[in-house]
Structure 1
Amino acid sequence: MIVWLNGTHGAGKTTASPLVQELIPDSRVFDAEKVGETLMDIKPGLPPTDNFQHWPPWRSLVVETARQVLDYTGGVLVIPMTVLVEEYWNEISAGLARHSIRVRHFVLHADADSLRKRIAGDTVLGADSPFRLKHLEPYAEAARTWLPTAGEMIDTTHLTPSQTALRIAEAVKR
């Protein structure tokens, strides 16, 4: 099984993912961003883009990497990764379904002011990241349209990371 934590930057995916992993037996965290970083390291580079998710190999490699890891280890993969393009989510989820991999898709949500404050206060990735801030409006659009039907929404605005993780783990166990 895959527990996919979606939502925009500042929603709590990265912080919650190791906490979720601790609560779900036989689980591991898989950072799909590392697949994008690998693709960005190819020389000469792939066609220019502002987001590695636009490269089709990223989407298929995430599916294949998850499949290979689950085939090797079994258990559950917790994947904290923002996907805001519905077509990309459909491609990834269909690829996982072709391998009979069950996906629990959670969308971590917070109001816009909370997201901005969290991004500004991030001491790990840096405050006011232009890359992270520019995703707030595309996230808001996806949250108004396709995300609520594609995943289980969890409003993290007033939750601690531990509370968020507990809600996810409890939902997975049901």
Structure 2
Amino acid sequence: MIVWLNGTHGAGKTTTGALVQQLIPGSRVFDAEKVGETLMDITPGLPATDNFQHWAPWRPLVVETARRVLDYTGGTLVMPMTVLVEQYWNEIKEGFAKQAIPVRHFVLHADQDTLRNRIMGDALLGPSTFRLKYLDPYAEAAQTWLHAEAEVIDTTNLTPRETALEVVEAL
């Protein structure tokens, strides 16, 4: 099974993912961003983009890598990864369906002010204009398709542990 934790930067995906992994025996965290980083290392480079998700190979590689890891290890993969383009999510979701891999899709949500404050006050990563630029696309995706496509957990007033417990209870 895949537990996909979606949402924009500052929603708590990475922290929650690590805590969910601790609460589900036999689970592992798989960061699909590493697939994008691998693609970024290809030289000469792929076409210029501001987001590796725009490269067509990224989506099927995420599915195939997750499938192979599950085939090898079994259990559950917890995947904290923002996907805000509906077409991209559909490709990933359909890829998992073709492999008969069940997916529970959660969106970790917080209001814009909370997200902005978390990003600006991030002690580990520091303030980030890159992360801030995804707030508006997240809000648009949330309104148009994303929240209808997933189980939404509002993290605005939750600790990461409380969020992780909500995910595990929903499972």
TM range (shorter): over 0.9
Amino acid at match of 1:144: Q
Determine the C-alpha separation between the residues in 2 that align with 1:123 and 1:34. Answer: 22
2:8 maps to 1:4: no
Amino acid at match of 1:140: A
Determine the C-alpha separation between the residues in 2 that align with 1:45 and 1:124. Answer: 29
Determine the C-alpha separation between the residues in 1 that align with 2:108 and 2:68. Answer: 26
Q: Which residue of 2 aligns with 1:82?
A: 82
DSSP-derived class of the 2:148 partner: helix
Amino acid at match of 1:61: L
Percent identity between matched residues is 75
Please list every run of 5 or more consecutive structure 1 residues that lacks an aligned counterpart in the other structure.
none
Determine the C-alpha separation between the residues in 2 that align with 1:149 and 1:98. Answer: 22
Determine the C-alpha separation between the residues in 2 that align with 1:22 and 1:131. Answer: 29
Matches within 5 A, 1:1-174: 1-127=1-127, 129-172=128-171
Q: What does the per-residue CA deviation read over 1:108-136, in whole Å, with 9 as the maximum and x for residues that have no partner?
A: 00000000000011122221x11110000
Determine the C-alpha separation between the residues in 2 that align with 1:125 and 1:92. Answer: 28
- Displacement of 1:149: 1.4
Determine the C-alpha separation between the residues in 2 that align with 1:102 and 1:5. Answer: 14
Determine the C-alpha separation between the residues in 2 that align with 1:126 and 1:14. Answer: 15
What CA RMSD, in Å, does the superposition of the two structures yield over aligned residues?
0.5
Q: What does the per-residue CA deviation read over 1:144-166, in whole Å, with 9 as the maximum and x for residues that have no partner?
A: 11011110000000000000000
Determine the C-alpha separation between the residues in 1 that align with 2:138 and 2:52. Answer: 17
Which deviates the most, 158-167 or 140-149? Answer: 140-149
Q: TM-score, normalising length from structure 2? A: 0.99
| Aligned residue-pair number | 171
Determine the C-alpha separation between the residues in 1 that align with 2:152 and 2:41. Answer: 34
